[in-house]
Chain A
């Protein structure tokens, strides 16, 4: 239910609706976009970054909160861990039970490996579950993997690793087919043609979806498949340190039961990190659209074991986080709302930008509207802009919202806002970790036998990711990581287990004069009231 002031503001949006629906706002030029990003995008806020003083990326800058964790103290004292009698002994250990981890598990299981998933919450408590809008694949006549490549490469500011992006776009149609064959229900026309839309920065309509539960539909299907295959899943158990062997190869992990605090040891021939993102670190004080466990744990584990990170200084702020009511502050409002025709409107009722610029540009543009331009709408939490959802019904006909974005309708409906009739308030929310662990085309990190997939990887998307390329990457790289790790496990002999790298890192820490008491990985945020 909107306040009196907000209802007053809505009148301007309504008055201009007819004109704004017909308007096709101009897209920004390359120069305009660059200036906008430099001035308003959070990635360019100098004071929010710190230079790493130890580890593989020493001398590079990362967000202040991440720097503290990457350089933090271990949760374990190596001397107290019994590595001689592992509690688990498997071929492939997968850390993380989201879309990437489960895809990897299915493929490693297919390859005949003995697989185990450990996850600090439940399987499926992951950003995959919350991805709403869709998944990209160039499978239409007027499209091709080459056009997909160009869209993603340009959208990511020409920084993606070409060999990774090549895999992403060429294996995309097969990823959709794989999911469909597992039983994922994509939106299709009666003749079987996939219903596809645009996302910000796409030049072809290649966004496949399952209503606005795209990620949930994929995640619950993958979870069901893991259960059907009876792959062991150890839930409520976090990996808190990687274990290497005497040759420096990844060889397992130290685990922590999140409830009983019991410490366990898993030995493995290969390890896959599929731990996801970092929204719950709330960089720069932003709210987040991420799940409860998104605390960059995998980056911390890998960094301490010697793996290099790539583009860890770049984050994605989703342009449209819910800005009202406060109960859903920061929750994701899918980009699909704009794909279906809703435009961004400022306090004066102006459609101030093209609704489908890339996410970084859109976020910066909204921040500009709400700051220097003074055209934001005042809300109890700050400022926001309107996203005029009733436009969707004008464009697509009555019933479009209920059919295509039921989750959005439900989310706002709980607070008596009918998005078919009233616009909603949005402001950028911390959404995605563009950077992560550097990998090669086989998904292997700089540490032998340590593979990475999903949001924990850096380099697939460059410095900004397009909508629908993350659900895609967790499937493509999740599957590849599973295959690579299973193949490697076959011809790996694991030597004596060691945590020497943890002690060495601790020594490096002291030598660099780092004396703070930060303990990492963080595992979970703490939202208890500070008295």
Chain B
């Protein structure tokens, strides 16, 4: 007999195997998921979930696909949260503090309650990356927010109405495009290809008989 636990899905009680994730428990209970289920591997942020263990004051958050059920777990999923996403032209913006003031001025209304950090399903220091964004330090904001899956739980807990994942998204794009060092070797190679430098070599390869290609492949030098 499997070890079973009692969970409450949206308040209704079910008995499910203790080894399951919350997502697995919902399916075990009979839910055919459409919402609240994406990659099932902790990357997409579709299955943000809020829970409380009976008798506990703390409200906890997690990704349903990454969290095992516990006895007396009260579960509510948050498959969508209305984040504010400002539209901008990445070619026309500049990586200065000004852009944050213009697109996401509410970040300056942060009261420092740290509810965002406490609620992050990826255990990121959310309030800290917002502080970096306020200062226009996009490199640090990008680094600190890098593992964000944009589930939106932080924003659901924010008294200032900040859409943290979207702020971080902007910071990362600004950093990736404008602030990170340029890759000279990449630009050179793109130019060489546009110049047709490898065309003849490749077309020669494409016309070789398979036996000759096998010979080349099996004896190719492998960089250590």
Q: Do A and B bind each other?
A: yes
Binding site for B on A (CB under 8 A): 27, 29-30, 121-122, 124-125, 129-130, 137-142, 144-147, 149-151, 153-154, 158, 162-163, 166, 169-171, 173-174, 176-177, 180-186, 188, 190-194, 198, 203-205, 211, 213, 215-217, 220-221, 224-225, 227-228, 230, 236, 258-259, 289, 291-292, 326-328, 331-332, 406-407, 410-411, 414-415, 524, 526-529
B42 touches A192 (CB 8 A): no
Closest 8 pairs between A and B when the two form their complex, measured CB to CB: A183-B173, A154-B217, A192-B181, A125-B38, A185-B176, A183-B176, A183-B177, A139-B189
Query: With a CB–CB cut-off of 8 A, which chain A residues contact B68?
Result: 327, 415
Interface size on B (CB < 8 Å)? 70
Which residues from A are CB-within-8-Å of B27?
527-529
| B9 CB-CB contact with A under 8 Å | no
Contact status A289-B41, CB under 8 Å: yes
> A120: nearest residue on chain B (CB-CB)?
B34
CA distance A149 to B161 in the complex (A): 50
Q: Is the CB of A140 within 8 A of B172?
A: no
Residues of chain B contacted by A185 (CB below 8 angstroms): 142, 146, 172, 175-176, 180
Contact flags B11-49 to A (C-beta < 8 A → 1, else 0): 000000001110010011111111101111111101000
Among A150, A181, A186, A528, the residue within 8 A (CB) of B31 is A528
**B34–A183 CB distance below 8 A:** no
Binding site for A on B (CB under 8 A): 19-21, 24, 27-35, 37-44, 46, 66-68, 85, 87-90, 122-123, 142, 146-147, 149-150, 169, 172-177, 180-187, 189-190, 193, 198, 201-202, 205-206, 210, 213-214, 216-218, 220-223
Residues of B near A524 (CB, < 8 A) are 32-34
State whether B201 touches A180 (Cβ < 8 A): no
Chain A residues with Cβ below 8 Å from B41 are: 130, 289, 291, 328, 331-332, 411
B96 to chain A, nearest CB (A): 15
**Distance in Å: Cβ of A168 to nearest Cβ of chain B:** 11
Can you list 20 A-B pairs, Cβ within 8 angstroms, ordered by A? A121-B46, A122-B46, A125-B44, A129-B38, A139-B189, A140-B185, A146-B205, A150-B213, A150-B220, A154-B217, A174-B193, A180-B177, A183-B90, A183-B176, A185-B142, A192-B182, A327-B19, A328-B41, A411-B66, A529-B30
Residues of A within 8 A of B30 (CB): 528-529
Q: Which of A177, A184, A203, A415 contacts B222 (CB 8 A)?
A: A203
| Given A146-B198, A332-B41, 18 further pairs, Cβ under 8 A | A30-B218, A139-B189, A149-B205, A150-B205, A163-B206, A182-B177, A183-B176, A185-B172, A186-B180, A186-B183, A193-B183, A203-B223, A216-B43, A220-B150, A291-B39, A327-B19, A327-B20, A528-B32
Task: Indicate the member of B142, B149, B177 with the most A CB atoms within 10 Å.
Answer: B177
Residues B193 and A145 in contact, CB atoms below 8 Å apart? yes
**Are B175 and A180 in contact, CB atoms less than 8 angstroms apart?**
no
CB distance from B131 to the nearest CB of A (A): 20
- Alpha-carbon separation in the docked complex, A528 to B37 (Å): 14
Residues of B within 8 A of A30 (CB): 214, 218
User: A227 touching B39 by the CB < 8 A rule?
Assistant: no
Q: B70 → chain A, closest Cβ, in Å?
A: 13
Q: How far is the CA of A327 from the CA of B33 in the complex (A)?
A: 18
> For the complex, what is the distance from the CA of A204 to the CA of B223, rounded to whole Å?
5
Q: Is the CB of B44 within 8 A of A188?
A: no
Q: Which residues on A sit within 8 Å (CB–CB) of B174?
A: 183
In the bound complex, residues from chain A placing their C-beta under 8 Å from that of B216 are: 150, 154
Would B87 and A130 count as touching, CB distance under 8 A?
Answer: no
Question: How far, in whole Å, are A205 and B142 apart by their CA atoms in the complex?
Answer: 26
Q: In the complex, are the beta carbons of A154 and B206 less than 8 A apart?
A: no
Query: Residues of B contacting A292 with CB < 8 Å?
Result: 33, 37-40
Chain B residue at minimal CB-CB distance from A142: B223
